[in-house]
């Protein structure tokens, strides 16, 4: 298995990465939004969905 960041052989201590540096680079990409999990766009809510929400309890 090769490191997804630099393509070198992985180190069992940092698997699936080869080093702490590559693991940190990957984490930084997630935290800054460079990676994103694709999702379907949300549907627009109809007014019917909100009926009764503004009534006092």
pLDDT of res. 16 = 97
**What are the tokens at 35?**
């990676």
pLDDT tens for each residue of 37-54: 888 776 665 666 666 666
Would you list the domain boundaries of the chain? Answer: 1-34
Q: Which of 26, 25, 22, 5 is nearest to 14 (CA)?
A: 22
2 and 9 Cβ atoms separated by less than 8 Å:
yes
* Averaged pLDDT for residues 5-11: 97
- The answer on pLDDT for 34 being more than 80 is yes
Is 18 among the annotated ligand-binding positions? yes
22 assigned to a ligand binding site = yes
Residue closest to 26 by CA, chosen among 48, 39, 46, 34:
34
């Amino acid at each position: 298995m090769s490191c997804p960041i630099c393509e070198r052989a992985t180190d069992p201590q940092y698997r699936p990465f080869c080093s702490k540096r590559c693991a940190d680079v990957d984490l930084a990409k997630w935290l800054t939004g460079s990676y994103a999990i694709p999702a379907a766009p949300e549907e627009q809510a109809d007014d019917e969905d909100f009926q009764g929400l503004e009534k006092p309890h």
